[in-house]
Structure 1
Amino acid sequence: MNTQTENEAFETFLKSASRPESFKTNPNYPNDTLLEERLSQIHKSDVDNFNETQKAKVLQLSDDELKAELNRRESAKVSARESYKDLVQDTLPKALLNLTALSQLLSEAKRDIFKYFENILELKSQVFGIKEKQQTHTFSTEIGEITIGYRVTDGWDDTASAGIEKVSKFINSLSKNAETAALVDMVFNLLKKDAKGNLKGSRVLELQKLETKFNNAEFSDGVKIIAAAYKPVRSCWFIEAYTILDDGKKVNIPLAMSSADFPAGYEFQFNKS
């Protein structure tokens, strides 16, 4: 029940209630005190929507009448919350069924796309006499472009920490002067770990480039240990697709739920201010 309907119901109730005569004649029970006590029993969000006339009419209620009205409001609130839970119970299975079907369609489409280009790659290896093993493959025509491949995340074995320790030990041993300060800062930045506690694989190459600058066996050995500890992990197979417009502009075809727009004519209204 919305606030307006609640207030209308309460207004009707107030009109039908009668204030006991004792409330009018008892000098030890001032109206302001009584009103404050009465309003304190009503939910603040409801009181905030009362006008001054409605607040004053609360004084007309006997204790039993006020209790009955508060019970009615509480029952209405409980009923509304139960209705909300029932609606979620009814809606969730339909949404899950829809999404499960969509997930299956995406899975089958992904399989089909990879099978299409698996055959093309096999033909390419026969025609050109070489079997490519790169991470991604891109195919394009004048109307569109598709890239298939896999993502890689950085991974390391437990020896990486030994290499980091050797590099850090050497860097800490350097005298701090203007000549070495920048290099020291650079190395420590390269050794910084991400939120998951891993180094970035791309930084190994940067460390290797510094070997000639330092020309130190301890540093070089540490870098070699780090490089040998790098164990990249294949994370997922992906497809990226674009259509190419007449002006040559590439337009992404959204394949993830988060990147797909709603169909034309639909706008999610709940979060609009």
Structure 2
Amino acid sequence: MSEQVTMTAKEREEWEAYKAEKEKKEAAERRKAARATYQQMVDDELAQAVPELRKLSQDIRTVKDTVFGNFQTVLDMKAEVVGFKEDGQFSHTFTNSDSTLRLTLGVNTVDGWNDMAETGIAMVRKYIESLATDEKTKTLVNTVLRLLSKDKQGNLNASRVLQLAKMAEESNDDQFKEGVKIIQESYMPTETRRYIRAQYRDETTGNGWRNIPLGITDVDLVETEQEAEKPGVEAGA
């Protein structure tokens, strides 16, 4: 029969403190081990996932280069058929004969202009400001001059220049038209990223284009007729 140990209050307090400290250290060791296990799991999964994703990225790039390369011949043929090259057109859409497949190839661009743009702007301003003969025409002039306003990077907006070009043609003023022409000729856009949008006709309903998801995020989307009409997914450069 074991002998019962009797502790004083102080001994009991010291024992409880020892036991609590031991449990605290053991818990800390378990957390440390769990962190090491977690980090090892992360290392193992990353070692497997990242090479696969790099391969996927390279495969996408290879297919993208191939598609653009193959369609370059089509674009050259298109220019030959229509008799001119569509300068300034940065996207082209192709649809097959039975309208079941559609592909859009394009290039995102950033507007840019050379120094001659300032000469054209000065000519246009001179003409426009000459029209301000009363308060009514001043308001119209100010509205038109806003089309020549620049963004934070100091660039004109290409779409606004197109609006000016239409106004110039309607004005029949040589100075106005020459100024706008100079601005247009000074346009030097910078290409950023090429993109592809691929679509197919829904065979179950016979109408509505469905996008083919080309981004890793978008492949989880459930394709609906509504989604089919949304802008295409960019295949990264």
Equivalence for 2:201: 244
1:136–1:61 Cα change, 3 Å? farther
1:142–1:208 Cα change, 3 Å? closer
Pairing of 1:1-273 with structure 2 (within 5 A): 21-22=9-10, 62-121=16-75, 128=81, 130=83, 132-133=85-86, 134=89, 135-142=91-98, 144-157=100-113, 159=115, 180=138, 184=142, 187-188=145-146, 191=149, 193=151, 198-207=155-164, 227=184, 229-246=186-203, 247-261=206-220
Say if 1:152 and 1:236, in contact at 8 Å, map to a contact too. yes
How many residues are treated as equivalent by the alignment?
207
Say if 2:101 and 2:200, in contact at 8 Å, map to a contact too. yes
Partners of 2:34 and 2:133 lie apart in 1 by 72
Letter of the 2:189 counterpart: P
* Secondary structure of 1:62 counterpart: helix
Letter of the 2:83 counterpart: I
Gaps of 5+ in 2: 1-6, 223-237
Partners of 1:243 and 1:166 lie apart in 2 by 49
Structure label with greater radius of gyration: 1
Identity %: 23
Offset at residue 186 of structure 1 (A): 6.8
Offset at residue 85 of structure 1 (A): 2.0
TM-score (norm 2): 0.59
Partners of 1:79 and 1:222 lie apart in 2 by 74
Say if 2:92 and 2:104, in contact at 8 Å, map to a contact too. yes
Gaps of 5+ in 1: 1-18, 25-58, 264-273
Letter of the 2:190 counterpart: V
TM-score (norm 1): 0.53
Partners of 1:122 and 1:228 lie apart in 2 by 23
RMSD (Å) for aligned C-alpha atoms: 4.8
Partners of 1:146 and 1:193 lie apart in 2 by 35
